[in-house]
Amino acid sequence: MRYYVYVLLCQDGTFYTGYAKDLSARLEMHVAGKGARYTRIHKPKKLVHIEEFNTIKEAMRREKEIKKLGHEEKKKLCRFAIMRHRTLRRRSIR
């Protein structure tokens, strides 16, 4: 079974970090206002980072690490993930 750690960019510029077994269902909950208390107050804008893990223990550990990061560090993490994704996508096209 796969577990995911994800970071959402909220409409007010803040980040929300969470973990889920079913990422699509969890994101739908956030959008519907039924996810976490934080995302009910700070509406999610877009998904900006995803990491995949084999165990819930690994996912929870990583979620905790990301939550400890400051705002600027989270921005860097998300920018790096976007750049890495674009590079991988370009490589797969060639």
Which sequence spans correspond to the domains of the chain? 3-93
Least confident of 31-35, 51-55, 65-69, 90-94: 90-94
For residues 43 and 59, give the distance between their C-alpha atoms in angstroms, rounded to a whole number: 23
Q: With 60 as the cut, is the pLDDT of residue 14 above it?
A: yes
How high is the pLDDT of residue 93? 36
In the sheet with 15-20, reading across from the earlier edge strand, the strands are 15-20, 3-10, 44-53
Sign of the alpha-carbon torsion through 16, 71, 10, 27: negative
pLDDT of residue 40: 94
3-93 CATH, one of 1.10.3470, 3.40.50, 3.30.565, 3.40.1440: 3.40.1440
Instruction: For residue 56, give every residue at least 6 positions away whose Cβ sits within 8 Å of its Cβ, in sequence order, or none.
Output: 3, 19, 21
pLDDT in tens, 23-43: 999 999 999 999 899 999 999
